[in-house]
Amino acid sequence: MKTTENQFKELLKEQDAYREALSLVQWDLRTKIPEHGATQRAEVIGLLSQKIHQLATSDQMKTLIDQLKGKTSDPILQRSVEDCEEEYNRSSKIPDEEYKAFITLRSKSESVWQKARAENDFSLLQPYLEELIAYNKKFAKYWGYETNKYDALLHLYEPGMTTKVLDEVFAQVRSGLTNLVKQIRESNVQPDENLLKHHFPKEDQKAFSLDILEKMGYDFDSGRLDESIHPFAIGINRNDVRVTTRYDEQDFRMAIFGTIHEGGHALYEQNIGKSLIQTPLASGTSMGIHESQSLFWENFIGRSESFWEKHFDLFKSYAPAAFQALDFSSFFEAINEVKPSYIRIEADELTYCLHIMIRYELEKALIDGDLAVKDLPEAWNQKMEDYLGIRPTSNQEGVLQDIHWSAGDFGYFPSYALGYMYAAQFHKRMAEDINIEQVIASGDFSSIKDWLTLHIHQHGKMKKPLEIIKEVTNESLNAQYLLDYLTEKYSKIYQL
């Protein structure tokens, strides 16, 4: 048994080394690579992805899984075997040729999307989306599902989650949110975000971002902050977890909230248990749980009154003269302004989930066959009007804004809203152990970080997402906490 275990560990290590190389290549592609270097780099990505896939579906892998499953006394190995088995089943069910064709289509489609968006021409992307959806339907069939085809895709990003649960919680959240948005529209308080739109030099924004990241407990000996068009966090290895942000000199919010958000992701990856290193378990357990960490830091901490009361002077010390006369309450209201808008990644804390639900409903309909791709732009615009009361005047600010579908990713979007609900549920539970506002007001976040590490981060993929929710909060997903939190916060700001 020891020999078999060691063989398995060696295989995991090899797979992990390929994954690490691939992550570095991807980080570089989005941060440092010179323009002309990218074409040939695609070959590297192809090769490394292929190697990872080959190892995951190799006969050796299958044999080791069969020999070890349920027979090792090492819990980390046992869970790794299960994870590899899921991956083996998922990957080996797709015929090799079909998988390759899908990968090629994806990467073509991504560049077509760039062009389609730039030229505001959905028809360019339409045939690619049709093909990508056809593949996703086929894959869902290969993988199997109980009642809804879409569940098979959802499972990729949020194991255990179903459309049945989502339909229910999303309906609850939608009704609560639309009600809140309506009240806010009628409120006498109307924050003025223009107060925040003064020139703020990039270098000073960077210094402020670094300062805040450090306060969050982000370990700079195991990470670094860079710049990219779309902010992201990436665990290259457990001791090299990098974040990026984007500097808009006319709107500092982009950089600072981007940094806090990605910093939240990074804290998760930096604090995974060391015993999981070089196994497939050394990363966040699902997209939804990951997003709960970034949103917890970005919103529950980073957009809270206590946080800015504590750091308003610090902010001013980095900010140019134009900000110095700003009073605290105008500032705080402005960074929490609620205003329906077209672009998801620029949405405020409150309307954000509505953007997600629109995508969820549309992609479910696309996979179920209830919606044809050619009708997608109109369906998108109609839902925007129904949920947010505004109608995009172009596909650029409508259906073409996100990369996900053109990258073949269906079932991913719900994670963003799930993350939000999880975060609220964790927040509620954390408040039983910690006086959260007091901790935030102190500027020393270590007890919050430690709580998250203890209950979530350290486990990596040792626990499945729904297991974590259940064990930490003693109940299953409950959307009410998010509604309560938002109602309390925004009732106060908007004097509802």
CB of 282 to a copy of itself, least distance (A): 10
Q: Nearest to residue 223, comparing CAs of 187, 267, 189?
A: 267
Alpha carbons 294 and 287: distance in angstroms, whole number: 11
Q: Which residues contact 346 (CB under 8 A, 6 or more apart)?
A: none
Q: Is 265 annotated as a binding residue?
A: yes
Catalytic residue from among 131, 262, 337, 361: 262
Taking the complex as a whole, the smallest distance from the CB of residue 244 to a copy of itself amounts, in Å, to 12
Of 111 and 123, the one with the shorter C-beta distance to a copy of itself is: 111
Nearer to a copy of itself by Cβ, of 65 and 236: the residue is 236
The count of C-alpha atoms lying within 13 angstroms of the C-alpha of 3, restricted to the half-sphere facing its C-beta, is 0
Residues of the shown chain interacting with a copy of itself in the complex, contacts defined by CB under 8 A: 13-14, 16-18, 20-21, 24-25, 28, 32-37, 39-41, 43-44, 46-48, 219-224, 236-240, 242, 277-278
Q: Which is nearer to a copy of itself, 223 or 284 (CB)?
A: 223
Amino acid in position 158: E
Task: Write out the DSSP string of 321-385.
Answer: GGGTT--HHHHHHHHT-----S-GGG--TTTHHHHHHHHHHHHHHHHHTSS-GGGHHHHHHHHHH
Is the CB of 267 or the CB of 418 nearer to a copy of itself?
267
What is the rounded CA–CA span in Å between residue 332 and residue 184?
A: 16
Annotated catalytic, 262? yes
Give the nearest distance from C-beta 44 to a copy of itself in angstroms: 5
State the nearest-atom distance from the C-beta of 373 to a copy of itself, in Å.
Answer: 34
Nearest CA to 82 among 93, 71, 97?
A: 71
Burial grade of 43 (CB within 10 A; 0-12, 13-18, 19 or more): exposed
Is 291 a known ligand-binding residue?
A: yes
Using CA atoms, how far apart are residues 108 and 46, in angstroms rounded to an integer?
Answer: 13
Answer yes or no: is 261 a known binding residue: yes
> Dihedral of the CA atoms 396, 402, 406, 407 (nearest 10)?
160
Helix and strand totals (H; E) in the chain: 20, 3
Say if residues 231 and 30 touch (Cβ distance below 8 Å).
Answer: no
Beta carbon nearer to a copy of itself, 169 or 276: 276
Q: How far is the CB of 235 from a copy of itself (least distance, A)?
A: 10
Catalytic residues: 262
Which residues are annotated binding-site positions for Zn(2+)?
261, 265, 291
